[in-house]
Homo-oligomer: A and B are copies of this chain.
Amino acid sequence: MSEHTVSAYDEELTEMAGKVAEMGGLAEKAFADAVSALVSRDLDLAKTTIAQDERLDTLHQEVEAKLIEMIARRQPMGQDLREITAATRIANDLERVGDLAKNVAKRAIAIDNSLGSKKLAIGVEHMTELALSQLKQVLDAYTRKDPEAAKRVQEADAEVDAIYTSLFRELLTYMMEDPRVITQCVHLLFCAKNIERIGDHATNIAENVFYMVTGERLPEERTKLDETTSVS
Chain A 194-231 residues near chain B, CB threshold 8 A: 226, 228-231
Chain B residues within an 8 Å CB radius of A184: 232
Option from B84, B179, B182, B229 in Cβ contact (under 8 Å) with A107? B229
Option from B73, B84, B179 in Cβ contact (under 8 Å) with A176? B179
Q: Is the CB of B112 within 8 A of A232?
A: yes
Q: Compute how far the CA of A26 lies from the CA of B191 in the bound complex, rounded to whole angstroms.
A: 30
Q: Is the CB of B230 within 8 A of A110?
A: yes
Copies in the complex: 2
Interface pairs (8), CB distance under 8 Å? A68-B71, A73-B75, A106-B226, A110-B231, A172-B186, A175-B175, A175-B179, A187-B229
Q: Known: A175-B175, A176-B182. Is A72-B76 also a contact (CB below 8 A)?
A: yes
A193 within 8 A of B: yes
A36 within 8 A of B: no
Chain B residues within an 8 Å CB radius of A76: 72
Most chain B CB inside 10 Å of its own CB: which residue of A92, A182, A193? A182
Q: Compute how far the CA of A184 lies from the CA of B175 in the bound complex, rounded to whole angstroms.
A: 13
Q: Is the CB of B182 within 8 A of A109?
A: no
Option from B71, B92, B190, B193 in Cβ contact (under 8 Å) with A72? B71
With both beta carbons as reference points, the residue of chain B lying nearest to A168 in the complex is identified as: B186
Most chain B CB inside 10 Å of its own CB: which residue of A76, A110, A231? A110
A81 within 8 A of B: yes
Chain A 63-88 residues near chain B, CB threshold 8 A: 68, 71-76, 81, 84-85
Residues 101-137 of chain A: 1 if any B CB is under 8 Å from the residue's CB, otherwise 0?
0010011011110000000000000000000000000
Q: Known: A72-B75, A92-B92, A175-B175. Is A110-B228 also a contact (CB below 8 A)?
A: yes
